[in-house]
Every structure is written in C-alpha cells, then in structure tokens.
Amino acid sequence: MHQFSRLLGAKSVSSKPWSGRFGGSTDRRVEHFTESISFDHRLFRHDVQGSRAHARMLAHVGLLTTDECQQIERALSEIQAEYEEGRFAFVLEREDVHMHIEAALVERLGDVGRKIHTARSRNDQVATDVKLWTRDALDRVDERLIGLQRAFVDAARRHEGVIIPGYTHLQRAQPVLAAHAFLAYVEKLERDRSRLADGRRRLNVLPLGAAALAGTSLPIDREYVARELGFESVAANSLDASSDRDFAIESVFALTMIAEHLSGWAEEWILWMTQEFGFLALPDSICTGSSIMPQKKNPDVLELIRGRTARVVGALTTLLVLVKGLPLAYNRDLQEDKQPLFDAFDTVESCLELAAVVVEGARLRTDQIAARLDQGFLDATTVMEYLIQRGTPQRTSHEVIGKLVGLCEKRGLAKLADLTDADFQEAHPALGREVRSILGVENAVKAFCSRGSTAPVEVETRLREWESRLGIGGAVAS
Ligand code: ARG
C-alpha cells in the first residue's frame, strides 16, 4: 500500500455513506480488502474535475443554487490544493478517492456538500474519472511517441549514406541504408499514434449521468457536462456506460503494441552492440557495468525495455480476463482495472522516454560495418534482377546466380565481384562486363527503385517528409 500505509486508519472518521441501512461498523479486514484509495488516489484531479462539472450542471438545471455551486467549486479548489501540497489526509475508512473528496466537501460545507452526489453514483463517477485519466495519459504517450520518432529521424539524418546489411531470419540478405532501418521504426510508431488517436475517439463519450445503472428521475443535462469535460457525446445507454471498460482495454492494447515495437527494436540493438556484430556504440552514460567482470559494458536500458514488455502484456491479459463474464452495469470487479491500467501507462511512458535517450546517444560503428559489408553476397538478389531485366525468367535467373554463389564458395572467394568475366559469361550469356556496374553493396543499393524501397532517393524523400511532419531542421509540419 506504499505511501498510504502510514495514513490509512490513522484517523477515526464518521460513518459510511451507506450507514442508514447498516447496523454496526465494517470489519477492519473487509476495509483493508475492499479499499482502493491506495491506488485510485491517482484519479484525484480527475475526480475534482468531474465533480466541478457535475456541480455546474446541477446549478444550471436548478438542483443547486448559484451560491451553493460557488461554495462547492471553491471548496473543491481548496481540496485539490491540499492534495497537490501533500496535506490531504487519506484514511482507510473512506475507501476510495470519490468518498474522500465527497467527505472533504461535507466537512467544509455541511449540507451543501451533501448535495454533490445528487443524480450521481460512484459507478458512473469512477467510469468518468478513469476515462478522464486515460485521455490525459493517451495524450502524454502520444507526445512521447513523437519524441522517439524525432530521435529516429535525427539518427537517420546523422547516418546519411551509411549502408548496413539487411537481415531476414537473422541471416545476411540485402544491403539497406541505415536511415531506411531507422525510418522503419518511425513508421511503426506512427501506426501506434494512430491507434491511440482511434481509441481516444471511442473513449471520448461521457458516462456520467448514467447514475447507478438506470439513469435518474432528476432533470439533469448530460450534454452540458460533456461540454464541460470535453467529451464528444454522451453515452446512449446507462447500463452500458457504467460497465464499459473497452477504452481501458483498447488503450492497453495500443500500449502493448508500442511495447512490442520497442522490444523488437531493443533486441535488434542489443545484438548490434555485441562484439559479434559490432555495429553500434552507446555512450557510457547510458550503459552499465558488471560487479565482477571489469571489462563489461552492458546495454541494460535496452534489456529492461525488452523485459518490461512482459508487464504490459500482463496488464492487457489482466484486463481482458477481468471483464470476461461480467454481467451488465457495475460490478466491484471493475475496481481491479486501475492498477494494470496505471502500470501499463507508467511502464510505456518511461520506456519511450528512455528509448529516445538511447537513440539520441547511438552511433553506428561505420568502419566496422563497412569492413564486413562484402560478406554474405548482399548483392546477389540485385544481380538476379539484372538478369530478369534482360529477359531471363526469374526462376532461371535465381538458379544461375545461386550457382555463381556456389562457385565462389567452392573457390573460397568472398564476393561475386571476385569472379572473372569468363565465369559470368559461362553462367549466362546476358552477364556481360556491364554486370560489374551493379556488383558490390554500393551499386546494389543504388539499383533499387521501387516505392518504399531502400533506394537512396526514395529514403531521402521519406526522410524529408518526416523532417517536415515533425518540424525538424526548420521544416514546417504540414
Ligand atoms: N472504488 C470503486 C471502483 O474503483 C468505485 C465504485 C464503487 N461503487 C460501488 N457501488 N461500490 O470501482
């Protein structure tokens, strides 16, 4: 129960809001078991925000006087200030953030405070608070995604013209520009952004006003509250409104995809940092050492980003299993939505922040990479395409070049360019001297021309587009 363990139960407080129906007090063990204040205090600001909008609406429809509404708004501001300054007292008996804030209002305002829960239930209140919290969190993550995109785009510009081996099955395949590889992650992150935006749109529907489950017989104005809180519309069905946690699950799924993207990237760069690859150098300031092996320099940040993906996947699983089989409207199980939701956001936000730090500090070891670019026959596919262009069927071309690779291996030659003109001629009459113009990784990269390929002009176009969209280097975002 972290920082609240000290405060919980420290103060004896007045009876529960439901005490009218109950005899005696709640068992202490039940209070400990059912409380959520130790984690839902994170909804504090959003609960105040929702209560303020609710009070204004109540005044608007005449369920509160203007004076009562002003008293409530003033008291809410004081309560929020107490919270921000760490002076607000949390107590176990008050169970959750909603009861804490309401009790604080009643303490200050007496009967006026006792009016705030008019036409409202904690069921629609908590759904609203969690939506408001999630909406803010989605916007924060979006900012972080943009930050990481910028870092990758900068890295692409910084490594302009650098060629690296591209891999499939982790086997050397074809040469690609390093910038192309960095921009691949920018695209993934852009899909992540669009997933967040898409979920945000569906989230932005107001639950408040659904009351306990069926709505209310009081003359409330839900559109008014929606406008106050920046929701696009009001939930059309009260039974659905209080049970809906789709937005939490969708958000955590979007976070899971981000974590998956980061994890794959981290794995790749961990490999690149090995002595075996030797592609990547990271500054000492973002690496860690070993307590026993003096020579070690480890990419722990990358490993932890990869590792923390497990937590996010776990949070998604928890949420999915949580709502499985819940009947309509509010069930207390739903209280369990918050910890996985908060944890998934905390984890992904910090991973994105640190990922940007890593990308900003990264330098490719271009000499090491260049020295070994001849390994792996990276130009073989381009030579095959050269033959295809000269009218040879693809399957035949594939076989011809495959045989030439085999010949190199038999003779202990490192690359196709080490073969003689006669070898090429013998393999296929269309393989004249001009074939040399596409041999080697430099030539092979230049030969690409398809949309979305690693062709240098293509990559430069994409890079400029991203620079302009992200407002980098004086370029203005469209
Ligand atoms: N703490 C509860 C939650 O987080 C608030 C709603 C409780 N509603 C109720 N009827 N007990 O879900």
Selecting among 19, 77, 194, 290, the annotated active-site residue is 290
Token pair for 350: 């910090």
What is the Å distance from ligand 1's center to 475 Cα?
A: 49
- Fold (CATH) for 2-118: Fumarase C; Chain B, domain 1 (1.10.275)
Are 164 and 366 spatial neighbours (Cβ–Cβ below 8 Å)? no
**Residue 128 Cβ < 6 Å to ligand 1:** no
What is the distance between the alpha carbons of residues 50 and 413, in angstroms, rounded to a whole number?
73
What is the distance between the alpha carbons of residues 57 and 50, in angstroms, rounded to a whole number?
11
| Pocket-testing residue among 33, 51, 95, 126, ligand 1, by greatest number of atoms within 8 A of Cβ | 126
**Residue 242 Cβ < 6 Å to ligand 1:** no
Selecting among 169, 217, 291, 450, the annotated active-site residue is 169
Q: What's the CATH number of domain 123-371, 1.20.200.10, 1.20.120.530, 1.10.1040.10, 1.10.3720.10?
A: 1.20.200.10
What is the Å distance from ligand 1's center to 433 Cα?
A: 78
169 is annotated as an active-site residue: yes
350 is annotated as an active-site residue: no
Token pair for 169: 């099955």
Q: What are the residue ranges spanned by the domains of the chain?
A: 2-118, 123-371, 380-464
| Predicted pLDDT of residue 3 | 47
| Predicted pLDDT of residue 158 | 96
**Residue 38 Cβ < 6 Å to ligand 1:** no
Cβ-based neighbours of 91, under 8 Å, separated by 6 or more: 7, 8, 9, 10, 11, 13, 100
**Residue 125 Cβ < 6 Å to ligand 1:** no
**Residue 211 Cβ < 6 Å to ligand 1:** no
Q: Are 2-118 and 380-464 equal in CATH topology? A: no
Cβ-based neighbours of 34, under 8 Å, separated by 6 or more: 95, 332
**Residue 94 Cβ < 6 Å to ligand 1:** no
What is the distance between the alpha carbons of residues 228 and 60, in angstroms, rounded to a whole number?
12
> Which ligand 1 atom sits nearest the alpha carbon of residue 338?
4
Per-residue pLDDT of the chain (478 residues; tens, 9 = 90+): 444 544 554 455 557 888 888 878 889 999 999 999 999 999 999 999 999 999 999 999 999 999 999 999 999 999 999 999 999 999 999 999 999 999 999 999 999 999 999 999 999 999 999 999 999 999 999 999 999 999 999 999 999 999 999 999 999 999 999 999 999 999 999 999 999 999 999 999 999 999 999 999 999 999 999 999 999 999 999 999 999 999 999 999 999 999 999 999 999 999 999 999 999 999 988 888 888 888 888 899 999 999 999 999 999 999 999 999 999 999 999 999 999 999 999 999 999 999 999 999 999 999 999 999 999 999 999 999 999 999 999 999 999 999 999 999 999 999 999 999 999 999 999 999 999 999 999 999 999 999 999 999 999 999 999 999 999 986 554 4
What is the Å distance from ligand 1's center to 125 Cα?
A: 9
Are 219 and 61 spatial neighbours (Cβ–Cβ below 8 Å)? yes
| Predicted pLDDT of residue 2 | 40
* DSSP code of residue 15: P
What is the Å distance from ligand 1's center to 34 Cα?
A: 9
Smallest CA-to-CA distance from 186 within 141, 148, 144 is with: 148
Structural domain 380-464, CATH architecture? Orthogonal Bundle (1.10)
| Bridge partners, residue 281, by sequence | 363
| Pocket-testing residue among 93, 332, 333, ligand 1, by greatest number of atoms within 8 A of Cβ | 332
What is the Å distance from ligand 1's center to 406 Cα?
A: 70
Cα distances (angstroms) measured from residue 79 to each of 26, 64, 467: 26, 20, 45
Sign of the C-alpha dihedral computed for residues 222, 326, 49 and 15 taken in this order? positive
What is the Å distance from ligand 1's center to 309 Cα?
A: 29
